[in-house]
């Protein structure tokens, strides 16, 4: 597997409209924002797949295995940046503060923008970056940095929406690492046990429980359940996966246990939840 390297602090690449993606699954050592200028298809990150369309913005973090499959001719705009960009002395303090947020982003597929208002804001910013990149006018590097910085702040804000309400860019780095660990292992129930996590981070299980609740206002189990439910909802609404496939992905050996867990927290079982949004359709079990 080729691992791409970025030698400059940041790089901008605008691709022409393409009939098919020129690359298969790959990974790289830098951050990458991928904006869909035009087209539709599916995006895959770490074996998870969701549809994409024009206006979607993806965040690819270092070591993510990812690819795009075009259904319609697609034009892509890439903003690539590395640790030098977000930690360099010449960068604003704000970027240094959001670095850990970017590094602890959930490695899930789909548009990073969760708010419609942010999608509206991002579109003209991307257009301005593309124009300035092509024009290369006076102070174009300085302007590009300002535009990219603004975009990163918006991205960081949307990442924070997936974290407990109390978490922000001033939070203890250890709690962010614990949250990232939970997210990365959400499909492996054994690694989510309190004893396993406490051993991983070199703290007692009792202290872990107190520390987690203090910094998130919820228990470790509550966070795991809520995060898992959000991912399950994403599968139900954005994929054609069967219910038993989703249950198996999240470590449920018994589909009835999976259905009961979901109904307990959402009031309906997964099949009913999917039908609420799409009708009866062709989704399987």
What is residue 43's three-state secondary structure? strand
Q: For residue 9, what pLDDT is reported? A: 82
For the chain (285 residues), the mean pLDDT of every run of 10, in chain order, is 75 93 87 94 83 91 87 95 66 53 62 86 95 90 89 81 66 82 84 93 94 92 90 81 89 90 94 80 44
Q: Are 73 and 38 in contact, with CB atoms under 8 Å apart?
A: yes
Structure tokens that stand for 281 in this block:
């359709």
59, 191: one domain: no
Alpha carbons 39 and 19: distance in angstroms, whole number: 10
- Where does 136-204 have alpha helices with state H? 140-160, 173-184, 194-201
- Number of folded domains in the chain? 2
Q: Rounded to the nearest 10 degrees, what angle do helices 140-160 and 116-135 cross at?
A: 160
Q: Are 194 and 205 in contact, with CB atoms under 8 Å apart?
A: yes
Domain that holds residue 177: 173-278
Which residues, other chains included, contact 135 with Cβ-Cβ below 8 Å and sequence gap of 6+?
none
Q: For residue 102, what pLDDT is reported? A: 65
Q: For residue 204, what pLDDT is reported? A: 95
Q: For residue 153, what pLDDT is reported? A: 83
69, 151: one domain: yes
Q: Domain with 129 in it: what CATH number? A: 2.60.120.10
The pTM of the full predicted model, rounded to 2 decimals, is 0.65
Q: Residue 167: inside a domain, yes or no?
A: no
Alpha carbons 263 and 282: distance in angstroms, whole number: 21
Last residue of a domain, one of 160, 181, 201: 160
Last residue of a domain, one of 134, 160, 186: 160
Three-point CA angle 199, 186, 235, nearest 5°: 180
Q: For residue 261, what pLDDT is reported? A: 94
Looking up tokens 């929406």, which residue turns up? 161
* Three-state helix/strand/coil letters over 244-269: HHHHHHCCCCCHHHHHHHHHHHHCCC
């Amino acid at each position: 597997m080729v691992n791409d390297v970025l030698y400059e602090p940041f790089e901008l690449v605008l691709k022409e409209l393409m009939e098919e993606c020129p690359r298969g699954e790959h990974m790289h050592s830098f951050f990458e924002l991928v904006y869909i200028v035009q087209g539709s298809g599916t995006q895959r990150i770490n074996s998870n797949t969701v549809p994409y369309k024009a206006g979607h913005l993806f965040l690819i973090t270092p070591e993510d295995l990812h690819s795009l499959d075009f259904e319609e001719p697609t034009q892509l705009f890439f903003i690539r940046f590395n640790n030098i960009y977000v930690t360099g002395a010449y960068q604003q303090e704000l970027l240094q503060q959001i670095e850990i947020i970017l590094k602890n982003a959930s490695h899930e597929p789909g548009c990073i923008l969760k708010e419609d208002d942010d999608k509206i804001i991002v579109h003209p910013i991307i257009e301005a970056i593309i124009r300035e990149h092509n024009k290369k006018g006076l102070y174009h590097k300085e302007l590009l940095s300002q535009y990219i910085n603004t975009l990163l702040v918006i991205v960081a804000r949307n990442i924070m929406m997936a974290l407990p309400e109390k978490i922000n860019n001033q939070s203890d780095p250890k709690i962010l690492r614990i949250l990232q660990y939970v997210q990365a292992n959400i499909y492996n129930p054994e690694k989510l046990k309190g004893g396993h996590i406490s051993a991983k981070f070199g703290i007692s299980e009792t202290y872990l429980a107190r520390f987690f609740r203090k910094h998130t206002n919820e228990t470790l189990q509550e966070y795991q359940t809520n995060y898992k439910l959000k991912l399950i909802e994403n599968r139900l609404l954005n994929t054609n996966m069967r219910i038993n496939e989703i249950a198996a992905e999240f470590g449920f050996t018994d589909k009835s246990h999976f259905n009961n867990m979901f109904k307990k927290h959402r009031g309906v079982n997964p099949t009913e939840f999917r039908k609420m949004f799409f009708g009866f359709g062709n989704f399987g079990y």
